[in-house]
Structure 1
Amino acid sequence: MHATPSHHDVVIMGGGLGGLTLALQLKRRFPEIDVLVLERRDHPVPHAAHKVGESSVEIGAHYFDTVLGLKTHMHGAQLRKFGFRFFFSEGRRDIDQVTEIGASRYLSVPSYQIDRGIFENYLAEEATRAGVRFIDGALVRRIALAEDARTPHRVEWTREGETHAVHARWLVDACGRAGLLKRKLGLAQPNAHVCNAVWFRVGARITIDHWSDSEAWRARCEPQARWLSTNHLVGTGYWVWLIPLASGSHSVGIVADPRQHPLESMDSFDKAMAWLRTWQPRLFDELDGKRHLLQDFAFFRDFSYGCKQVFSGQRWALTGEAGLFLDPFYSPGSDFIAMSNTYITDLIGHDRAGRSVEARARLYDQIYHSFYESTLALYTDQYALFGDPEVLPVKVIWDYTYYWGVLSQIFFQQRLTDLALLGSLREELQHCQRLNFAMQDFLRAWSKKSAKRNPAVMLDQAALPWFADLNRSLGDPLDDAAFQARMRASAEQLHALAGEILQRAGGERLGPDSQALRAALAERSGPAPPARGAAPMLFAQA
């Protein structure tokens, strides 16, 4: 062991997506800061079959291309995502004869399909160019947290058989599910969402556009490039993802509620293929002749979990999957990295300025967990309705209105750490959260009674002017007053949408199942559901 440990302002344990983006964010905010990143894997890492989690949505995409300034790489080395797309194709080969949810054109704000190997190699190079000390092949062996405000944290690690020690003012765990700090401090916390996933990559493009010879079906989208979407093949209790990678490979995953589809029915490639033959036969046909192109196969049992605390006034923090993980549906992983890294960067900034961070860390932890609880509600006990062509399209519209109207506005407008401004909107934010909780319960109840009609139609999100405009509005520059007005308008929009959903579902016939939603709507006056003949917020009923 080296006799004198080196000292660093920040030591980040883990040089994957969360750790490297944090290092870059810190360097952009504080060019002189001394950051050490310890990464267990050797670099460069392989393309395609490196890590799961390739799809990004608006917050994560904005974090990468704008906050971190990586737009050139995102546009040149990754794929622009053609939104999210859903097909109610359970047991079907005729993809053009089922209900499709998606946008017929690109919406305003970009998101990306990310080859994690290409991206993490690039992030490591960028961090090194920015002055971050990046050490690969480093295995953390021991952590000793500081006992007081003046004492540094100590980390011992090994590389190529040699032991090293470093001191750090701040210590951040970004090592993923290994959860070094989480285990040390007993922070692990289960949640109520029980779900499993299997995934694999194949070294070939899966061009879903070629699954039909119908020119009319292909022409519904411009460009005719559905393959660039995160495609979801959905059924009761599960969804299958198809995500293209810039390296030419394609990522395929099955995510399922074990109450309908046990992990044991799909926990090897051969089992997964047999499962697809039954539940998504058109994808099976596509993959059956590509078995020799299989690049990897992996699975997670019970992948969703919480964490009792992720930010501490004692100058430590957790980011990414080292802290908590929700679900791959809607791809929130990079969003939560963006938010946690922004909070960590701000806490380090306050500490560098000589200010106490105890109270601020507690508040950031509360807000971050509130975002987690709100997002968790989108998944918990909701997989049974994923095969419902009548209810899932409504859920997707609701979930994205909540996401773009509330959480995305806060992040895009750089108000995540503005405690005074968020405090002035506390009533609106809490109302939106209560509406969301009630809506998720209502959607679940509605699906139990819906007819589940599956007509051959495309429910085009780009054809809903208010929805496309909500996406576009993320790029608006807003001062404090305009931001407050925007958030209040978002609350009113959610209120109006909830009323229309209640009306669409026939809330009266759902009886007690609609009471919680009605109570949430009654908390405050707001726009009434649109009258018959008024411009609706939802798709016209098929």
Structure 2
Amino acid sequence: MTDTALDSFDAVIMGGGLAGLTLAIQLKQRFGDLKVLVLERRTHPVPHAAHKVGESSVEIGAHYFDTVLGLKAHMDEAQLRKFGFRFFFSEGRSDIDNVTEIGASRYLAVPSYQIDRGIFENFLAEEAVRHGVRFVDSALVRRIELAENPAAPHRIEWTRSDETHATEARWLIDACGRAGMLKRKLGLAEPNAHDVNAVWFRIGERIAVDDWSDNAEWRERCNPQARWLSTNHFVGAGYWAWLIPLASGSHSVGIVADPALHPLDTIDTFEKAMAWFATYQPRLYEALDGKRHLLQDFAFLRHFSHGCKQVFSGERWAMTGEAGLFLDPFYSPGSDFIAIANTYITDLIAQDRAGRPLEARAQLYDQIYHSFYGSTLALYQDQYPLFGDPEVLPVKVIWDYAYYWGVLAQIFFQRRLTDLPALGSLKDELQHCQRLNVAVQRLMRDWSASSNKSNPAAMLDQAAMPWFAELNRSLKDTLDDAGFKDRIRASTVMLRQLAGEILGRARTADPDVEAGALLALLEENRGKTPAPAARDAMLFAAPPVDTHA
């Protein structure tokens, strides 16, 4: 049966997962009269827990959900507030209380969430419909015809059951994930050099990390005693394993690994993954072994990190989520980049509705978005070998957080993503911070090659670092134009001091460590940005040497 009626929409979003549904809601909140169609391949409602990965959010994505989209009631009532990131250097160890741990002893000021994707996407679909979005599930896009001139609409054909539909759209947005329909049609796929693989599964029961030791001192390091609410990372050279709790009562488990050190064919089934845990993370294996019958799913993905030559176009098409690019699940940036892409797409549609030219702005947004992608990719690429280093990884985590909260998160929280004059006036500072990040990542890679990798029984408490907790809290500030520029310049000063301390720590450990690029950056005259003022040390104190290592 064929439906010959030609529907017309202001925006058609191909894909009704996290990226597509949040974009639809954002568009309808901005423009109540906008006609939006979302076409989702899956049948709704989707299952809880064993649905999709991408369950852990960080500050930008969390702020996008709870504040920008106004979904705080749902996040508080139907999802779990995350107890931050937590890392255990527990390779080959069952005594979790006798290894180095990185994490916060208490909640920091700005919330983030553990998200059951099934619960969330079912809610988002209902919320989109409440806003007036037309949401069609079980829909398959069969054909795309992009407009050849600015006045003409795009055209798509899609099917549901045995019916074929033809739809016109002024804007066409691809949010269909790795299917990447627009990317494939336009030949925009772009590989990157970050070669890592992932496997994951869900277990239908809580995994009580806090019960893994009866050591009262270890338990009382955290208030609340709720390590299980963290995104727990169990790290070793070339890999990290995750534990993420879900509001449905399940626990998400995964392994992300550099194939040069841990080939995919050693972990690409549940039984292989369990055997791998028995060797590399025996305490986690013990927790999972008695729950095998509660396995809900298992999947793997080879070389998941990918780029895209272009994600926004003045020709009225765009991509968001994994349909465009994807980095790495370490630090959970997926929902951050959805928030950023959706904000740019919403503004481009606003510009179009106002009759303004699009091409130059779309190009600038694409350049900025790719700049964020490139600077974030530097956190991961070639860095997996140092993940098992209890001396260097804690320093890397502090740097990575400071860079994220001090620069990208400030831009998003202050709603400056589309403020091109402000970003232009800060171009020197932003580029300097980006170069600092690349140089610091290289330094830590070189430092780890010669470090002792001492693994003492110690908790490196992020909440006990006043500057670190204040940097997190500062995301809540409301700044005017001058205040925002001052904040980014202050972040540049902060990162320069922190980079200097990292260089000093690395040289103390290895006087011959290669540091030329970072040293040259630190010696630059910063012009408008003042030199760092004298202040207390920013890094953790070096932990005591582990005499049992």
Same-fold call, TM > 0.5? yes
Aligned to 2:60: 59
Give the SS at the match of 1:254.
strand
The 2-side partners of 1:529 and 1:394 are apart by 19
The 2-side partners of 1:509 and 1:456 are apart by 23
Aligned to 2:94: 93
Aligned to 2:70: 69
- Deviation, 1:523, is 2.1
Task: Judge conservation of contact 1:103–1:462 (CA < 8 Å) in 2.
Answer: yes
Query: Is 1:5–2:6 an aligned residue pair?
Result: yes
Matches within 5 A, 1:269-280: 269-280=270-281
Task: Judge conservation of contact 2:506–2:513 (CA < 8 Å) in 1.
Answer: no
The 2-side partners of 1:51 and 1:479 are apart by 39
Matches within 5 A, 1:25-174: 25-174=26-175
* Alignment TM-score, normalising by the size of structure 1: 0.98
* Alignment TM-score, normalising by the size of structure 2: 0.97
- State the Cα deviation string for residues 106-134 of structure 1 (Å, max 9, x = none): 00000000000000000000000100000
- Deviation, 1:54, is 0.2
- Deviation, 1:3, is 2.4
Aligned to 1:226: 227
The 1-side partners of 2:520 and 2:183 are apart by 39
> Which amino acid in the other structure matches residue 325 of structure 2?
L
- State the Cα deviation string for residues 339-373 of structure 1 (Å, max 9, x = none): 00000000000000111111000000000000000
- Deviation, 1:411, is 0.1
Task: Judge conservation of contact 1:421–1:480 (CA < 8 Å) in 2.
Answer: yes
- Deviation, 1:161, is 1.4
Segments of structure 1 that go 5 or more residues without pairing to the other structure are none
CA spacing shift, 1:475–1:530, aligned 2, 3 Å: closer
The 2-side partners of 1:216 and 1:509 are apart by 33
Aligned to 1:187: 188
- State the Cα deviation string for residues 251-300 of structure 1 (Å, max 9, x = none): 00000000000000000000000000000000100111000000000000
> Which amino acid in the other structure matches residue 11 of structure 2?
V
CA spacing shift, 1:441–1:61, aligned 2, 3 Å: same
Query: Is 1:206–2:207 an aligned residue pair?
Result: yes
Task: Judge conservation of contact 2:446–2:513 (CA < 8 Å) in 1.
Answer: no
Task: Judge conservation of contact 1:446–1:510 (CA < 8 Å) in 2.
Answer: no
The 2-side partners of 1:145 and 1:29 are apart by 25
Task: Judge conservation of contact 1:236–1:384 (CA < 8 Å) in 2.
Answer: yes
The 1-side partners of 2:425 and 2:207 are apart by 48
Query: Is 1:385–2:386 an aligned residue pair?
Result: yes
- State the Cα deviation string for residues 2-35 of structure 1 (Å, max 9, x = none): 2231100000000000000000000111011000
The 2-side partners of 1:438 and 1:507 are apart by 18
Task: Judge conservation of contact 2:109–2:473 (CA < 8 Å) in 1.
Answer: yes
Give the SS at the match of 1:445.
helix
The 2-side partners of 1:280 and 1:486 are apart by 42
The 2-side partners of 1:405 and 1:170 are apart by 34
Give the SS at the match of 1:491.
helix
Matches within 5 A, 1:369-384: 369-384=370-385
The 1-side partners of 2:458 and 2:4 are apart by 70
The 2-side partners of 1:100 and 1:398 are apart by 17
The 2-side partners of 1:535 and 1:34 are apart by 55
Give the SS at the match of 2:92.
coil
CA spacing shift, 1:289–1:508, aligned 2, 3 Å: closer
The 2-side partners of 1:259 and 1:271 are apart by 17
The 1-side partners of 2:397 and 2:244 are apart by 19
Task: Judge conservation of contact 1:99–1:455 (CA < 8 Å) in 2.
Answer: yes
- Deviation, 1:535, is 2.1
Query: Is 1:237–2:238 an aligned residue pair?
Result: yes
The 1-side partners of 2:536 and 2:336 are apart by 32
Give the SS at the match of 1:298.
strand
Aligned to 1:349: 350
- Deviation, 1:184, is 0.2
Matches within 5 A, 1:503-522: 503-506=504-507, 509-511=510-512, 513-522=514-523
Matches within 5 A, 1:247-266: 247-266=248-267
The 1-side partners of 2:512 and 2:388 are apart by 23
The 1-side partners of 2:264 and 2:530 are apart by 45
- State the Cα deviation string for residues 305-329 of structure 1 (Å, max 9, x = none): 0000000000000000000000000
Aligned to 2:24: 23
Aligned to 1:394: 395
- State the Cα deviation string for residues 177-214 of structure 1 (Å, max 9, x = none): 00000000000000010000000000000010000000
Q: How many residues align?
A: 540
The 1-side partners of 2:275 and 2:326 are apart by 29
- Deviation, 1:175, is 0.1
CA spacing shift, 1:530–1:361, aligned 2, 3 Å: closer
Task: Judge conservation of contact 1:2–1:164 (CA < 8 Å) in 2.
Answer: yes
Give the SS at the match of 2:5.
coil
Task: Judge conservation of contact 1:140–1:158 (CA < 8 Å) in 2.
Answer: yes
Aligned to 1:414: 415
The 2-side partners of 1:101 and 1:208 are apart by 15
Task: Judge conservation of contact 2:328–2:380 (CA < 8 Å) in 1.
Answer: yes
> Which amino acid in the other structure matches residue 311 of structure 1?
F
> Which amino acid in the other structure matches residue 167 of structure 1?
E
Aligned to 2:448: 447
Give the SS at the match of 1:274.
helix
The 1-side partners of 2:291 and 2:86 are apart by 23
Aligned to 2:293: 292
Aligned to 2:538: 537
Task: Judge conservation of contact 1:152–1:168 (CA < 8 Å) in 2.
Answer: yes
> Which amino acid in the other structure matches residue 200 of structure 2?
W
The 1-side partners of 2:197 and 2:391 are apart by 25
The 1-side partners of 2:47 and 2:504 are apart by 51
> Which amino acid in the other structure matches residue 74 of structure 2?
H
Aligned to 2:305: 304
Task: Judge conservation of contact 1:18–1:320 (CA < 8 Å) in 2.
Answer: yes
The 2-side partners of 1:351 and 1:43 are apart by 32
Query: Is 1:317–2:321 an aligned residue pair?
Result: no
- Deviation, 1:509, is 4.3
Give the SS at the match of 2:4.
coil
Aligned to 2:547: none
Aligned to 2:475: 474
Give the SS at the match of 1:169.
strand
CA spacing shift, 1:218–1:512, aligned 2, 3 Å: closer
RMSD, aligned α-carbons: 1.2
Task: Judge conservation of contact 1:20–1:127 (CA < 8 Å) in 2.
Answer: yes
The 2-side partners of 1:100 and 1:507 are apart by 22
Task: Judge conservation of contact 2:242–2:255 (CA < 8 Å) in 1.
Answer: yes
- Deviation, 1:511, is 3.8
